[in-house]
Amino acid sequence: MNDYRKYLRPDIIAQLKNIELKARLVVEGFITGLHRSPYHGFSAEFAEHKQYSHGDELRHIDWKVYARTDRYYVKQYEEETNMRGIIAVDSSASMGYASKGRISKFEYASYLAAALAYLMIKQRDSVGLALYDTEIKKYLPPRSKPSYINEILRSLDSATTENKTGTSSALDRLAEQVKRRGLIIIMSDFFDDPDSVLKALKHFRHRNHEVIAFQILDPREIDFKLGPGATFKDIETGEELVTQPYQIQKTYSKAVRDFNEEIKRGCFQHRIDYHLIDTSMPFDKALRDYLVKRKRM
């Protein structure tokens, strides 16, 4: 494996102690990967350039970038690139789940949120943070000052998972709180009533925000391959159930697929970008999903 790729792996990043280092190495690994990929539109200058389109001033074409990519790009300036984004991370108890050998869903979301915040500020965008369970536990409004990343990272690093899931009610409150139009990035397992979740997501669209929904699940929550016998414990209520996983695997897997499809279908209907992520996936998939969205805005 190429050296830069290792910093996109959740298990490698989890071994690092400092969250600022985690965010920086994920972003550096991601950008290095873009250099070596066929995605020329995501060149090293993605923050400062956009692809030429009819009407752009020819004097702003960057000929050095053209020489490397064989495509025309024009330079952008700070007032053209600034965007307001808020990353909302579910910190309810269900996000604390991790199967053997994996990091928890909340750890994954925290590292991804840290990397995205780092990347957004590097692009001179404004970024804020919301941590929620049944209510908004922490809210940092969007800022673009480079030093602001430290406050965001400290908040992510000190957060813990607790309380029941209240994605729908918490996101409704967040939608009312965010007045100016921007990009809302939501990271959650969405383990709540799907109709209520979709209603809350739609609330952001009604207020003219662009939305990316990252549904983060543990691989075992998707395939239910838990071995010959297991004790299941509800993280939020403490209730336990002893059963043979193979007896309910087929039924469970169908229920999860149906649930995920309902969330995905609802997002599509309301023009919300939906991405299913499991905690074994390298971080570059989600970062590329974000950049695709960012370039469309």
Domain encompassing residue 15: 3-79
Pick the last residue of a domain from 79, 99, 132.
79
Residue with tokens 């209730």: 239
Q: Can you give the pLDDT at residue 137?
A: 95
The answer on 198 and 120 residing in a single domain is yes
Determine the pLDDT at residue 38.
Answer: 45
Return the H-helix or E-strand segment holding 268: helix 245-269
Shared domain for 72 and 126, answered yes or no, is no
Tell me, yes or no, whether 93 and 67 share the same domain.
no
Q: Give the model's pLDDT for residue 239.
A: 63
Split into its structural domains, the chain has a count of 2
CB neighbour list of residue 1: distance below 8 Å, 6 or more residues apart:
none
pTM of this prediction? 0.81
**60 and 95 inside one domain:** no
Tell me the residue ranges of DSSP E strands in the chain: 49-51, 73-75, 84-90, 126-132, 136-143, 183-188, 210-217, 230-233, 240-243, 273-278
- For residues 166 and 272, membership in a common domain is answered with yes
pLDDT by 10s per residue, the chain, length 297: 467 789 899 999 999 989 999 999 999 888 887 766 544 344 334 445 666 666 666 666 777 767 777 777 676 554 445 789 999 999 999 999 999 899 999 999 999 999 999 999 988 899 999 999 999 999 999 999 999 999 999 999 999 998 888 888 999 999 999 989 999 999 999 999 999 999 999 999 999 999 999 999 999 888 777 555 554 455 556 565 455 555 566 777 788 889 999 999 999 999 999 999 999 999 999 999 998 898 887
- 148 with 203, same domain? yes
On whether both 68 and 89 belong to a single domain, the answer is: no
Q: Which of 61, 79, 97 is the last residue of a domain?
A: 79
- Per-residue DSSP letters for 181-206? --EEEEEE---S-HHHHHHHHHHHHH
In angstroms, the CA 208 to CA 170 distance is 18
State residue 50's pLDDT score.
64
Same domain? For 133 and 154 the reply is yes
- The DSSP H or E segment spanning 263 is helix 245-269
**Alpha-carbon distance values, 185 to 56, 61, 79, 111, 281 (Å):** 30, 32, 22, 14, 18
Distance CA 90, CA 92 (A): 6
